[in-house]
Structure 1
Amino acid sequence: MAQLRQVLSDAGFQQVRTWIQSGNAVLRSDLSAKEVELRVHQLIKEHIGPDLAIVVRTGHELRQMLDNNPFLGDEYPIARVFFVSFQESPAEEKVQALLAQDFGQEKLRIDGMSAYMFIPQAFSDSKLSNNFLERKLGVAATTRNFNTITKMIAWAEEEQDVATPHKISS
């Protein structure tokens, strides 16, 4: 993550912060979210190596995602809710086909560029996963837990008065 911070800073992004080894960064940029996605993808591939899909959200978009969480209340402990950001909107027919499946106690909701998964057991034992959603929907995605999302929102809101920050997930 130190290398990612350095590469992004050297490329002119401002106030770059990374969150542990989570693949998340918050930064300031005058570029659009799509431009940041493309630029960061290029920088990582060129300077670090992997050819990763990059998903960018503004602090406001992350806050909206958290506010739209359909899994609330005692029956859905927040530690078992996972937040998914898609790089682009999945095709509606693929969404409907996926939502028609029965995942047992696991729950899935998809709302445009976001999805929400309630996974009551260990995430590693779940049928639902980031890779599963990418494969079924044909779009790049990134999945984060509540703690990571709230940390990214807090950092983004610290910088909100200065410029629009972006979250990067790989």
Structure 2
Amino acid sequence: MPRYMALLRGINVSGQKLIKMDKLRSIFEAMGYHRVITYIQSGNVIFDSEESAETARERIVQELLAQLNYDIPVIIRSLAEMHEIVEQTPYLTVDEEEGAQRYVTLLSQLPTDEAVVKLASFQNEVDEFRVMGLTVYMLIRKNYGETKFSNNFLEKKLGVTATTRNWQTMNKLIQLAEEGS
């Protein structure tokens, strides 16, 4: 049975769209998903399902709206896709002593070539990014809270829904998914 990660966008941020992880887990379990694990308050859910990723995503979005009364964008990646994302990073080494950090933005769909070219015009010396398919890899040399390349900025420039996680969270999700297998 496929193992998936549902990455919810914009929950538990600045007092908006609040949901406890035990409630989120119970919603997924009530939908018939198996071996459900939640990780940190930003809305990461690991689960098993025989459904396709797109079918699961549609059902989850509808159920969250029905249960919570607000629309929550959801991006789903399989365990295999998460491995590929981590393995394909263009930023293999990071000078953490200098404060550099890696972030990954997962896109809901492929952006247009025109949008990617437009986004490339915003590259700078402080932070950098690379768009590779459904993933934007970022190397942030200062503080993510100060970067121009926030999730909202990337969504607007690329014209697609997205959600961002730091490198540690990406790797922890893979670890938890494998431990729960």
> What TM-score, normalized by structure 1, do the two folds share?
0.88
Question: What CA deviation, in whole Å up to 9, does each residue of 1:86-106 have, x standing for no partner?
Answer: 011111110111113232310
171, 174, 177: which one pairs with 1:150?
A: 171
48, 56, 59: which one pairs with 1:36?
A: 56
95, 102, 122: which one pairs with 1:81?
A: 102
Letter aligned with residue 30 of structure 1: E
Letter aligned with residue 108 of structure 1: F
Matching residue of 1:126: 147
Say which is worse superposed, 70-79 or 87-96, in terms of deviation. Answer: 70-79
Matching residue of 1:114: 135
Matching residue of 1:60: 80
Matching residue of 2:45: 25
- Structure 1: where are the runs of 5+ without partners? 161-170
Matching residue of 1:90: 111
Letter aligned with residue 10 of structure 1: A
- The alpha-carbon deviation at position 79 of structure 1 amounts to 6.2
155, 158, 175: which one pairs with 1:137?
A: 158
Please tell me whether residue 10 in structure 1 is matched to residue 30 in structure 2: yes
Letter aligned with residue 150 of structure 1: N
Letter aligned with residue 52 of structure 1: I
2:148 partner SS: coil
- CA RMSD of superposed structures (Å): 1.7
Letter aligned with residue 51 of structure 2: L
Could you say which structure has the greater relative contact order, defined with CA pairs below 8 angstroms and 6 or more residues apart? 1
CA distance in 1, matches of 2:166, 2:78: 17
CA distance in 1, matches of 2:94, 2:49: 39
Report if aligned partners of 2:65, 2:71 keep a CA contact under 8 Å in 1. yes
CA distance in 2, matches of 1:91, 1:159: 37
Question: What CA deviation, in whole Å up to 9, does each residue of 1:32-72 have, x standing for no partner?
Answer: 11111111111111102320110000011011000011112
Count of residues paired in the alignment: 160
Say which is worse superposed, 123-132 or 78-87, in terms of deviation. Answer: 78-87
> What TM-score, normalized by structure 2, do the two folds share?
0.83
Report if aligned partners of 1:58, 1:156 keep a CA contact under 8 Å in 2. no
- The alpha-carbon deviation at position 156 of structure 1 amounts to 2.2
- Structure 2: where are the runs of 5+ without partners? 1-20
- The alpha-carbon deviation at position 25 of structure 1 amounts to 0.4
